[in-house]
Amino acid sequence: LDKEVVLVQNTYPDGNLVELLLLLDAARGLGADKITCVIPYFGYARQDRRFNPGEALSAKVMLRHLEMEMDRLLTIDLHKPDVLEWFARAPAKDLKAAPAIGDFFRDRGIDLVLGPDKGAVGRAAEVAKIIGCESDHLEKTRLSGTEVKIAPSHVGAKGKKVLIVDDIISTGGTIIAASNELKRLGAREVFAACTHGLFTGGAVERLRGTCDMVVSTNTLESEVSKISVAKVVAQEL
């Protein structure tokens, strides 16, 4: 073959991971000169430490096995990009979906972009910059043993069209709690966007009960994966 091969494959569900390992070997067997692998949704990446004794360090295990046949790795919005330190044999880079999310919401009248926690404030700011509006993050304050207040840390939500941006939506619990609270605070509309839409156990339906729009990128395909990350990947390639 004597050429650079680009493989695009998720490591989730597990069948895709096995397929990827076999594709890597098949490409090498055909004489591929260089193999670049794009993993839009990296399953196992969130197990980045042993949360309980006896657990596997899954992110490290997967990266160590994958690096054996790859010459370059591109991922998108890893929960913690630092895990790529375990992919030591070749260059690796975590790409950001924020430009694609920002482009999608440009001209949709968004007043405020919120990250669901302090750690997500950078992503929210990046999206807000593209849209041309303000950004902030949500802060959880414990009022008593049974009461928790969730509100934007610095700005008000009253009368605003708010967009919450997260890296992953799994059960939808985080966004539903935030959205309910924002509506209570007088937000006019609440939109939710994420990079990786896992949407477990009917999460899309539950989210629609409180959010005015739910959308994800197409790193995982679903009925709401309306934002393409193709441009982000193509630009890097």
Q: Which residues pair with 184 in a beta bridge?
A: none
**In whole angstroms, how close is the CB of 154 to ligand R5P at the nearest point?**
20
What phi and psi values does residue 13 have, to the nearest 5 degrees? -65, 180
Q: Which residues bind ligand R5P (CB under 6 A)?
A: 116, 166-174
Find, among 198, 126, 200, the residue nearest to 165 by Cα.
Answer: 126
Of 25 and 223, which has the nearer Cβ to ligand R5P? 223
Q: Please, which residues bridge with residue 148 across strands?
A: 142
Closest to 133 (Cα-Cα) out of 111, 155, 104: 111
Q: How far is the CB of 136 from ligand R5P (least distance, A)?
A: 16
CB of 165 to ligand R5P, least distance (A): 10
Q: Which is nearer to ligand R5P, 111 or 166 (CB)?
A: 166
Nearest distance in Å: CB 216, ligand R5P: 11
Q: Smaller CB distance to ligand R5P: residue 121 or 168?
A: 168
Tokens encoding 221: 């395909």
- Active-site residues: which are they? 140
In terms of CB distance, is 72 or 137 closer to ligand R5P? 137
DSSP assignment of 174-219 equals HHHHHHHHHHHTT-SEEEEEEEEE--TTSHHHHHHTT-SEEEEBTT
Nearer to ligand R5P, 37 or 215 (CB): 215
Q: Which amino acid is at 175?
A: I
We find the least distance from the C-beta atom of residue 180 to ligand R5P, in angstroms, to be 13
Own/partner pairs, 116-125, CB within 8 angstroms, 24+ separation: 116/164, 116/166, 116/174, 116/175, 116/178, 118/153, 120/165, 120/166, 120/167, 123/77, 123/96, 123/98, 123/165, 123/167, 124/165
